[in-house]
Structure 1
Amino acid sequence: MQNGRFLVLQLSPSFLPALIVLGVDPSSTSTGYGLVKSHQRKYHYLECGCIRAPTGMSFEDRLVFMHDQLGEIIASTSPQQAAIESTFFGKDANATARLGEARGVLVLAARKAGLPIAHYAPAEVKKAVVGRGQATKEQVQFMIKRLLGLKEVPRPLDASDALAIALCHLHQPDFNAHQVGRPRKPEIEALLQRVKRR
């Protein structure tokens, strides 16, 4: 406080470093991935696609393939954080179990690369992007197109879902995209301490 007034520390967006978030939509057959860059409070589309194992590969070998492919994507795109959709518990217990195993190897690949990981339920992702937890995949796809300023909707649906997961992570109200997982610079920390003492 100075002269009876509180000092509010605000950093200009131009001083905030860019952050790349990897969104992952896990599947035992077609895993979607999407990369979104947040810079100066704006979102930029980088890349999206699907990881599909070759036909005829055993389930165990597909798990290895998905793990290795996501690791290669992370190595080539250098995201700082990852967000992955939580397992959806359906009526088919076997399918749910397989999805859980696929999700596990994808989480492993991200953690081996040193990425902090956030987990979001499907309804949470839809609400963050569309405003409604029961939105259809097509509605999510349309909103991704608008939010990222794309000329066409991202395809396939698994890839657009992955972009939605990345945006959901960036939309969190308590998420400071440029401070999570990294220490403050000494000069910023010192300035914050001076403000607190006043």
Structure 2
Amino acid sequence: MRILGVDPGYGLVGIGVIETFGNRISHVFHGVIETPKNAPRGKRLKQIYEEFSNILDEFSPSECAMEKLFFVKNVTTAIGVGEARGVILLALEEREIPVFEYAPNEVKISLTGYGRASKKQIQENIKRFLNLENLPQPDDAADALAIAWCHALQSRMRRVTHEKD
């Protein structure tokens, strides 16, 4: 199964793609969609939609795991992230790709066993778990890989639980 992890954002959208084979999880791709700060809102959202659609077409994920929105102090940032998340969800819905959402602490627990782990701890574990040569950069791409990893583990647990029923 191919899993797309997404760390939604307005300036940067983190992307991470992993593949599962039985109990093995391997790295496929990670990167970001970056929009220019001075571009009009509509152009930035269109860019996110188009680049994200291209990623979906290139990697053909079976499922998507995305970070849940959480409260932020800056309302303007929250609105931009919400709008970006909307175009991402639209592209996923157009391709009928199921979306699963995880809170940041759920992702951290799945990678470190600790819900308040640092970004550095997350990056180190993703590097080790996926046998990467370097820490995944930028942080948004590392977060997206972490979200995909969390979903892979959660999916495995759901399958095992259902097999026992």
TM-score (norm 2): 0.91
The separation in 2 between residues aligned to 1:176 and 1:71, in whole angstroms, is 29
| Cross-structure match for 1:147 | 129
Whole-Å Cα distance in 1 between the matches of residues 18 and 88 of structure 2?
18
- d(CA) in 2 for partners of 1:75 and 1:163? 19
Bigger relative contact order, structure 1 or 2 (CA pairs below 8 A, ≥6 apart): 2
1:161-198 per-residue CA deviation (whole Å, 9 max, x = no partner) reads 00000000011164339x9xxxxxxxxxxxx9xxxxxx
Say yes or no: does 1:62 pair with 2:44. yes
Work out whether 1:92 is the aligned partner of 2:74.
Answer: yes
Instruction: After TM superposition, give the deviation of residue 55 of structure 1 in Å.
Output: 4.9
Quote the offset at 1:57 in angstroms.
1.4
Instruction: Tell me the matched-pair count.
Output: 162
Q: Structure 2: where are the runs of 5+ without partners? A: none
Residue 161 in structure 1 maps to residue 136 in structure 2: no
Structure 1 partner of 2:31 = 49
One-letter amino acid of the counterpart of residue 97, structure 2? L
Q: Distance in 1 between matches of 2:122 and 2:58?
A: 27
Tell me, yes or no, if the aligned pair for 2:11 and 2:37 is still in contact at 8 Å.
no
The aligned residue for residue 94 of structure 2 is 112
CA RMSD of superposed structures (Å) = 2.0
Larger Rg: 1
Where does residue 129 of structure 1 map in the other structure? 111
TM-score, L = length of structure 1: 0.77
Say whether the 8 Å CA contact 1:71–1:113 is kept in structure 2: no
TM-superposed CA distance for 1:32, in Å, is 0.4
Deviation at 1:150, TM superposition (A): 1.2
Offset from partner CA, 1:116-154 (integer Å, 9 cap, x none): 000111111111111111111111000001111112111
Q: Which secondary structure state, in structure 1, belongs to the residue aligned with residue 69 of structure 2? A: coil
Deviations 1:26-83 (A, max 9, x none): 0110000000000021010000000012453111211111011111001011111101
Overall identity of the aligned pairs, in %? 37
| Structure 1 alignment gaps of length 5 or more | 1-18, 180-191, 193-198
Out of 146-155 and 27-36, give the one that drifted further: 146-155
- Give a deviation string over 1:66-108, Cα, whole Å, max 9, x none: 0111110010111111011011211112211221111111111
Amino acid at match of 1:23: G
Instruction: Name the SS for the 2:65 alignment partner.
Output: strand
Aligned match of 1:182? none
Task: Tell me if the contact between 2:100 and 2:151 (Cα under 8 Å) persists in the aligned partners.
Answer: yes
Q: Within 5 A, what are the aligned runs for 1:2-17?
A: none
Secondary structure in structure 1 of the residue aligned to 2:113: coil
